[in-house]
Amino acid sequence: MDPSPLFYQAGPALPEVSHAKGVYLWDETGRQYLDGCSGAISCNLGHGRNDIREAMLAQLDRVAFTYRTQFENAPAVALAKALVGFTQQQLEKVFFVSSGSEAVESALKLARQYFVARGEPQRRRFVSLRPSYHGSTLGALGVTGYQPLEAPFRDIAIGSLKVAGPDFYRHDDTDDGRHVARVLADTRAAIEAAGPDTIAAFVLEPVGGASTGARKLDRSYLAGIRALCDEFGCLLILDEVLTGIGRTGTWFAYQHYGVTPDLLSTAKGLGAGYYPVGAVLSRADIVETVMASGGFQHGHTYAGNPLACATGLAVVEAIEREKILDNVAARGRQLAAGLEALKARFPWVGDVRGLGLLWGVELVADAASKAPFPAEQNRFARITVLAREEGLLIYPRRTLDGIAGDHFLITPPLTIDAADTAELLTRLERAMQRFDREVP
């Protein structure tokens, strides 16, 4: 390959992709890869689907783009109705965007404008977790708790109050709820110190994505955060950019926890890799208040265009038609059992955690003390290279915020079958055997 004019992150030269089908991709040399992470946890229906292609072509033949202030479009209305239905009408209004960062950014701005419209302009701050990832635009970055990404922009991003969430791996007193109670008490104290009436919203992921290696929250914690938001009069924004649209086995991850947000951001799986499409779902009265104050002062050119929404609609129709949420539950159990078996074999697998088809594997230098590998060893990068050499794509990250260390996500397409799940585990096992020989 000639030197490329593209620039992203520094890293090894990448193979050039040739084509893909189902859960497999091939590069130009003919090498095959099992997509164990759905690209960026986005190709949730796998590659090369004819139904999505047909829906997109049909919409392209009709009209690809119209602007939201000039035309209503049927796919947008139908997709919005479907999304509202997935929340059992608890979130009744939908604002379309084109990415996860835009979905979070839009939710933050909607929350802020709601309080301005209500005559509470002092509510201008957000609370979020450390570690967390909410996107790369300055607002979404402002609520992101992930040092390397924040550092160059800290003094120009909006900033937020960062608090610790529960960590069920590194605390062993979870059974009696003391850990959650302590985390909630610390969060309350931090908000009280900052001034509860300055807070517009609490933003969090119901299951952490790349930033935490699929660290789960739990019912009591989320119920506690919901109660704090209600007591302090701020909104609860759930970032379901990664967890939404079936990834955890329910349409939205919050549905596992019995807690309803006021605003919800989603993206990745909605376009399923076929087209960028995201959305903010909102309580109706929030939108009504904002609209009555002169409208939402926010928008993006490509928001809710017909092609994007026809793609999203085809995606959610496929999930319903093929009962893909049931598959997520079944394959999730298979994957969890396989990962637990690998954990039992390799002492440097510290933790396996997840929900549905969102699984994280945390690597530690010492299982007893749970000490992470030294950062300079870049173990997360090494296991990724080994997995790739064994024909498996995984999604790696190292958390540098002193909480978790090296980890990777296993998040195959929601359509994966039992045989390919077994194949995924076999390839991972081969990579782990090689990794094991390298660990001192």
Contact footprint for ligand PMP (CB under 6 A): 99-101, 104, 133-136, 205, 209-210, 239, 241-242, 267
**Cβ of residue 278: shortest distance to ligand PMP, in angstroms?**
7
Give all strands of the β-sheet with 263-266 in edge-to-edge order.
93-97, 278-282, 263-266, 235-240, 199-204, 125-129, 161-163
Closest CA to 368 of 179, 170, 173, 224: 170
For residues 100 and 273, which CB has a smaller minimum distance to ligand PMP in the complex?
100
**Cβ of residue 274: shortest distance to ligand PMP, in angstroms?**
14
Residue nearest to ligand PMP (CB): 100
DSSP, res 122: T
For residues 129 and 339, which CB has a smaller minimum distance to ligand PMP in the complex?
129
For residues 209 and 396, which CB has a smaller minimum distance to ligand PMP in the complex?
209
Does a cis peptide bond (omega within 30 degrees of 0) precede residue 347? no
For residues 99 and 260, which CB has a smaller minimum distance to ligand PMP in the complex?
99
**Cβ of residue 402: shortest distance to ligand PMP, in angstroms?**
21
Show the tokens assigned to 354.
């997840």
**Cβ of residue 312: shortest distance to ligand PMP, in angstroms?**
14
For residues 134 and 256, which CB has a smaller minimum distance to ligand PMP in the complex?
134
For residues 273 and 350, which CB has a smaller minimum distance to ligand PMP in the complex?
273
**Cβ of residue 142: shortest distance to ligand PMP, in angstroms?**
13
Enumerate residues 6+ apart whose C-beta is below 8 A from 295: none
Label the pairing between strands 406-410 and 235-240. unpaired
Enumerate residues 6+ apart whose C-beta is below 8 A from 1: 13, 16
For residues 104 and 184, which CB has a smaller minimum distance to ligand PMP in the complex?
104
Please check whether residue 300 is in contact with residue 27, taking contact to mean a CB–CB distance below 8 angstroms: no
**Cβ of residue 203: shortest distance to ligand PMP, in angstroms?**
10
**Cβ of residue 149: shortest distance to ligand PMP, in angstroms?**
11
For residues 278 and 332, which CB has a smaller minimum distance to ligand PMP in the complex?
278
What gap in Å lies between CA 241 and CA 104, rounded to an integer?
A: 8
For residues 128 and 179, which CB has a smaller minimum distance to ligand PMP in the complex?
128
Show the tokens assigned to 400.
């540098």
Closest CA to 112 of 320, 292, 299, 286: 286
Could you tell me the sign of the dihedral formed by the alpha carbons of 7, 11, 16, 17, in that order? negative
For residues 100 and 338, which CB has a smaller minimum distance to ligand PMP in the complex?
100
Say how many Å lie between the first and final Cα of the chain, rounded.
37
User: What's phi and psi for 19, nearest 5 deg?
Assistant: -160, 175
Residue with tokens 């807070």: 199
Could you tell me the sign of the dihedral formed by the alpha carbons of 141, 147, 153, 157, in that order? positive
**Cβ of residue 94: shortest distance to ligand PMP, in angstroms?**
17
Show the tokens assigned to 408.
């990777």
DSSP, res 22: B
**Cβ of residue 101: shortest distance to ligand PMP, in angstroms?**
3
**Cβ of residue 1: shortest distance to ligand PMP, in angstroms?**
26
DSSP, res 130: S
Q: What one-letter code names the amino acid at 161?
A: L
No. of helices (H) and no. of strands (E), the chain: 13, 15
Please check whether residue 150 is in contact with residue 126, taking contact to mean a CB–CB distance below 8 angstroms: no
**Cβ of residue 123: shortest distance to ligand PMP, in angstroms?**
22
For residues 311 and 373, which CB has a smaller minimum distance to ligand PMP in the complex?
311
What gap in Å lies between CA 224 and CA 87, rounded to an integer?
A: 21
Alpha helix stretches (DSSP H) within 322-439: 324-345, 379-389, 418-438
